[in-house]
């Protein structure tokens, strides 16, 4: 059985350095788990509207018209999800191997 997890990543790729930060985050996400067991549906909420329609590999990228607000943008992302498990992340983290499968195992025991 494949477990589907929606991942919402907030990004502000205002320059090449910050774009690479988001790309590294996304790469680490997809490298962190065996995709035959866990499938990530990655949604990037990009604050830099000037780069539209640029997106990131293996993701859906949206560019809200509203002024940035952390909770506001998370809620925009949540309205785009449909899986039971949702991960909310900033773009400056790197996902470690097995992070999601370990969380799912703990959720199953509870």
pLDDT tens across 60-75, in order? 999 999 999 999 999 9
Strand stretches in 1-110, DSSP E? 3-11, 38-46, 59-62, 85-90
Higher-scoring residue by pLDDT: 49, 39:
39
Q: What is the average per-residue pLDDT within 92-104? A: 96
Task: Count other C-beta atoms under 10 Å from residue 30's C-beta.
Answer: 16
Under DSSP, the state recorded for 36 is: T
| pLDDT range class, residue 59, cuts 50, 70, 90 | very high
Q: List phi, psi (to 5°) of 107.
A: -65, -40
Task: Please determine, for residue 96, whether its predicted confidence score (pLDDT) is greater than 80.
Answer: yes
pTM: 0.92
CA distance 48 to 83: 27
Percent of the chain residues topping a pLDDT of 90: 82
Task: Please determine, for residue 23, whether its predicted confidence score (pLDDT) is greater than 80.
Answer: yes
The mean of the pLDDT values for the chain is 93
């Amino acid at each position: 059985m494949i477990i589907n997890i929606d991942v919402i990543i907030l990004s502000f790729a205002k320059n090449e350095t910050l774009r690479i930060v988001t790309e590294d985050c996304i790469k680490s996400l997809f490298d962190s788990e065996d995709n035959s067991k866990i499938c990530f549906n990655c949604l990037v909420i990009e604050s830099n509207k000037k780069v539209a329609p640029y997106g990131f590999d293996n993701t859906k990228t949206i560019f809200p018209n509203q002024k940035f607000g952390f909770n506001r943008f998370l809620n925009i992302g949540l309205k785009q999800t449909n899986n039971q498990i949702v991960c909310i992340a900033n773009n400056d983290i790197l996902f470690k191997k097995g992070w999601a499968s370990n969380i799912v195992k703990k959720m199953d025991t509870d």
